[in-house]
Amino acid sequence: MTSVHLIALQELREFTGYQFREACSECELVEEIVKDVYEKLLPAEQIGISLRILEIEHLLCKQPWGIRRLGIWGMPGIGKTTLAKAVFDQISGGYEAFFFIKHFDKAFNEKGLHCLLEEHFGNILMELPRVCSSITRPSFPGDILSKKRTLVVLDDVQNPLVAESFLGGFHWFGPGSLIIITSRDKQVFRHCQINHVYEVQSLNENEALQLFSHHAIGENLREKKFMKLSMEVIDYASGNPLALSYYGKELKGKKLSEMRTTFLKLKLRTPYKIQDLFKRSYEALNDSEKNIFLDIACFFKGENVDYVMQLLEGCGFLPHIGIDVLVEKCLVTISENRVKMHRIIQDFGREIINGQVVQIERRRRLWEPWTIKFLLEDDKLKANVKSTYTRPLVWLISNI
């Protein structure tokens, strides 16, 4: 390595704080510099985003020219908003008018339709008459927006009627416009006439490890002693970026033993921040759907879907409809003819049961063998067990 290279290397050390190896070749030096700069410049929320943007671009290319529409769908915390914002930032320069409304339903309820349009379109809507805030779209003069290529992103849509009224049947968008809606509920896309839906997948193992490392351990992750715990966290979070980020921040700065203890506590009781992700989806279910969700969380994760439906029908529910609703709200998935549920969602469902009644003998669902053993060994409670608990308990006892 020449003296010029050594001087440059020293300057890079002082500028970046990174200890490059002096003995490396020029090629290796360049690779290390690129890697270090990339890690410093790439925000954590952008991990795994590039491939997903390409997939969305391919999906958009399949749509005919006109007013293109795209739904971005996935479970809470999976990165729908991050992905939509990344797409927006990359392509918005090619549109005459563009806006991104985060938490659309909340913004609509707080500000009203006309204020939202005026806020995001600015001077384009100067000619519009002021109308009262309501769910009804005002009448737009024909030439104000109809000729403009417009990019609209409505994030986290919950009420399709609100979004549908805001979009107004797409009549006021010019040719070449693009409408993107993100939602955790697939029904929203049907109501809003969006046929092309992109499902955001979980991070793969390498992406998850990179994200968790960014928040929790940094370069020390390369040490073998941290790898086992890191893989346990990654397995539990199942590629959910928000969960990985949260657990990483909670474990940051702790010794390995402290990290293990903290993670065990986080698994025993799902943090409120993560619970809130799923609470809204759960509360939107009707009573039958809630019961189906709780039974799957307590008993039927991984079971054959036909077998599960048979048992749930015997309990008086409507599983053919209910399970479809749970799938569309990203609370369960059906894969290889089996009912699957994210581990964090399963724990959320079980904590609902534990929170409803403190006394074990008064709970309607029991899934832990020790709780069932406790009840069956108490002569005074045997009668209550027989009269209170339904088929799922019988199923569980037979499978212990």
Please answer whether residues 209 and 233 qualify as being in contact, where contact means their C-beta atoms are separated by less than 8 angstroms.
no
Q: Which helix (H) or strand (E) holds 49?
A: helix 49-61
pLDDT at 39 over 50: no
Residue extents of the structural domains in the chain = 3-41, 49-199, 205-268, 275-398
Alpha-carbon Rg for the chain, nearest whole angstrom, is 26
CA distance 341 to 327: 10
Question: Same CATH topology for 49-199 and 275-398?
Answer: no
CA distance 273 to 269: 11
Closest CA to 390 of 287, 306, 314, 320: 314
Span 53-82, mean pLDDT? 92
Higher pLDDT, 188 or 22: 188
Query: What is the phi/psi pair of residue 101, to 5°?
Result: -110, 105
* Digit-coded pLDDT (tens) for 222-281: 567 788 888 999 999 999 999 999 999 998 888 888 889 999 888 888 888 888 888 889
Write down the pTM of the prediction: 0.77
Banded model confidence at residue 290, pLDDT cuts 50, 70, 90: very high
CA distance 168 to 113: 11
* Digit-coded pLDDT (tens) for 104-162: 988 888 887 777 777 766 555 554 444 433 334 444 434 455 668 889 999 999 988 88
Closest CA to 82 of 46, 50, 107, 120: 46
Q: What is the dihedral of CA 83, 335, 158, 289, to 10 degrees?
A: -160
CA distance 78 to 73: 9
Question: CATH homologous superfamily for 49-199?
Answer: P-loop containing nucleotide triphosphate hydrolases (3.40.50.300)
Please answer whether residues 326 and 300 qualify as being in contact, where contact means their C-beta atoms are separated by less than 8 angstroms.
no
217: Cα separation from own chain's centroid: 23
Q: Topology of 275-398 in CATH? A: Arc Repressor Mutant, subunit A (1.10.10)
